[in-house]
Structure 1
Amino acid sequence: MDSTPLDTTIVIPTHTEDRWSSLVRTVACAKSQQAEPAEVVVVTDHNRSLFERIQRELPGVTVLENAYAKGVSGNRNTGAFHAKTALVAFMDDDITAGPEWLGQLVAPFADPRVVGTGGGILPDWEGPAPRWMPDEFLWAVGGSYAGMPTETSPIRNVWSASMIVRRDVFDAVGGFRVGFGKLGDRNRPEDTELCLRMSAHDGGHWMYVPSAMIRHEVPANRSSFPWFVKRCYAEGRGKVQMSALDEGGSHNLGAERSYIWSLPKAALRNLGAGLTGKGADNFLRAGGIVAGVAAAGWGGLVETVAAKRAPKAPKTLETVR
């Protein structure tokens, strides 16, 4: 592995002009890092007008068009495979990061066994945070959740909104699995799936750096209870789909099972807080935990049944270099 990890390219996938102001802000964050990136690459997702606008209005960045099927996995691969640096960092187009973000995530790469890092993610609610939202379910809106490490620690997987990978390992496993990630109403854990394959490649590991905090926008339409239930349902289906890939036995759900077993205690803790006069919102959060678990469990069951009924197909990694 490369021993000079400070050489980093930042890749920012984007797909719609509706998020133009957020994209401009994210690009400004990328370009203002204290650990200056070698290149900032913005990749558009089959949107020619957006591609041309970035060329006109965002100087100092490299602009590429998604070379793969529509979807964020192909977007990220396009930028990462373009990079020539030892490390590739990924930022979503709706986040803000302080100037120390990149340097903090690069630091763990001094250990050659580290294949990737990820930082803490704080939900940036467009409106008030929902009173019923449990801290244990902040992952549903792209945030770090209760129970994650509070200090820099090894971790099974991180999220691509704030992620750095060793390019040689990323390339060796073929990058993100194109066609598996987020597209339309599908919400499958392409970042978790990548983390597992990269760790399995040569026995390396990931590091979580909670101090490398970003703020991730949460639009108002993702603050509703029906959206939350739908998101948990999709996650349940996506995790079963990920497990079914099972290449080399790396796609296990051990972390998910441990997480699920922690949730009854969290629900009881909220109920206890409510019963002892610490606020009625605790009852709502306990209900949110029950609803989230039920929706994810139902999604997992639906996907398991569907998989058993579907004809067997070869397990291929859809990447084209």
Structure 2
Amino acid sequence: MSFLPFVSIIVPIYNSETDLPALLDCLRAQTYPHFECLLVDNNSSDRTAELLKAAESERIRSLKQFQIQSSYAARNTGIQNATGEILAFTDADCRPDPDWLTHLVQPFIDPAVGLVAGEIKALSGRTLLEQYADRQATLSQKHTLNHPFCPYGQTANLAVRRAALPKVGLFRPYLTTGGDADICWRILRQTDWQLRFAESAIVRHRHRATLAELRSQWRRYGRSNRYLHELHGIALMREPNFAEYRYRALRWLLKELPIASLNLLRGKASWVDLISTPIGLLCLQARAQGQRQAQLSKAAYTIEPVSNSCLPNLIDSKFAKFE
């Protein structure tokens, strides 16, 4: 490996005292040699600030974004204080593999590449809901990279070349969901930068363990649909009507459930197979509810510009290292 640009890892943090120790261990274990970590506290009320202070080192810096309650505003704070040529994003509840950065950075050796999405896999889960989400590969980038409007990478595992930002600006700081698609689409549709998928750059993410958490996740997906419809004109998800819900529920009860139960007794199925359809219907209903109820605020249209203090670093060759 000879391509070694300096990388700034940026992580928004909110009430993450439980997740921080494991995240910090994963960041410190990175095999890539040239990087810094910017952990941005987004007005936490637990012990997050104390843990961040204790974690500070030559490589790890803690920052604050208390004015705007939004992970995208926190990411913008990280970007404005970053020194890396490449900006790598993940989240507090994620666990990057040790060679995550090594694989995530390599596609940037092509000077036409402005975005790289790594793969997101599940942390091992014990509940049926976690196993269901794992079976569906809910968090995989392969879904978002095949979006019918335009591909994008989720910020749980996304890298951006800083030189791609001055023309399109940073994240929309007042947006609460959908900001990863928005910034990727602005870069891909307004510039000539290209997107690559680094499947071997793996971040592991915890699935939702309770029904309330799962429904909240899918309502957020629905809100994202509505917001991106307003911002980019993408098609809204069509909500199935009552008759379609009833048909799928009856089909599960009268056909799928008896077959899955018999296969379970034979050892050819798992408990997840028994609940797959009703859980899927609940997720679909939650997503439709989120889309129907979402209202995009006027402030969410705001795009934060790249500050002048950051511009000199975009052309500073000292961050591009070849060894």
Could you say which TM-score interval applies, normalised by the shorter chain? 0.7 to 0.9
Letter matched to residue 77 of structure 1: N
The alpha carbon displacement at 1:295 in A equals 2.5
Aligned to 1:225: 211
Cα drift, residue 134 of structure 1: 4.9
Identical pairs, percent: 20
278, 301, 304: which is aligned to 1:319? 304
Q: Which runs of 5+ in 2 are unaligned?
A: 239-244, 308-323
Query: Could you tell me how far apart the structure 2 residues matched to 1:204 and 1:197 are?
Result: 10
C-alpha distance in structure 1 between counterparts of 2:13 and 2:136, whole Å: 25
Question: Cα distance, 1:180 vs. partner?
Answer: 0.6
Pair 1:58 & 2:56 matched: yes
2:25 counterpart SS class: helix
Deviation at 1:101, TM superposition (A): 0.7
The match for 2:284 among 290, 293, 296 is 293
What letter corresponds to residue 144 of structure 1 in structure 2?
S
Shift of residue 82, structure 1, vs aligned partner: 1.2
CA contact (8 A) 1:178 1:319 kept: yes
Instruction: Please give the secondary structure, in 1, of the residue aligned with 2:104.
Output: helix
Q: What TM-score comes out, normalization by structure 1 length?
A: 0.73
| Structure 1 residue runs without a partner (length 5+) | 150-154, 182-187, 258-263
Number of residue-to-residue matches in the alignment = 282
Q: Taking structure 1 as reference, are residues 172 and 66 closer, same or farther at Cα in structure 2, changes over 3 Å only? A: farther
Offset at residue 174 of structure 1 (A): 1.9
Which has the larger displacement, 54-63 or 128-137?
A: 128-137
Deviation at 1:275, TM superposition (A): 7.9
Equivalent position of 2:76 in the other structure: 77
The structure whose RCO (Cα within 8 Å, separation 6+) is larger is 2
User: What's 1:156 paired with?
Assistant: 151
Query: Which residue does 1:38 correspond to in 2?
Result: 35
Kept after mapping to 2: 8 A contact 1:10/1:40:
yes
Matches of 2:31 and 2:158, distance apart in 1: 17
Matches of 2:182 and 2:14 in 1, distance apart?
Answer: 22
User: CA separation of 1:79/1:85 partners in 2, compared to 1, >3 Å: closer, same or farther?
Assistant: same
Deviations 1:34-69 (A, max 9, x none): 222332212111349744542334323122112751
Q: CA deviation at 1:167?
A: 0.8
1:100 CA drift (Å): 1.2
8 Å Cα contact 2:22/2:95 also seen in 1: yes
Contact conserved, 1:55 with 1:63, CA < 8 A, in 2? yes
Q: Distance in 1 between matches of 2:213 and 2:185?
A: 28
User: Which residue of the other structure, out of 177, 196, 207, is the alignment partner of 2:172?
Assistant: 177
Q: Pairwise mapping of residues 106-185 of structure 1 onto structure 2 (< 5 A)?
A: 106-125=105-124, 127-130=126-129, 133-135=132-134, 137-139=136-138, 143-144=139-140, 156-181=151-176
Q: Secondary structure at the match of 1:159?
A: coil
Instruction: Name which one, 1 or 2, has greater alpha-carbon Rg.
Output: 2
Within 1, Cα distance between the matches of 2:131 and 2:52?
39
The TM-score with structure 2 as length reference comes to 0.73
In the alignment, the residues of structure 2 paired with residue 135 and residue 148 of structure 1 have an alpha-carbon distance, to the nearest angstrom, of 16
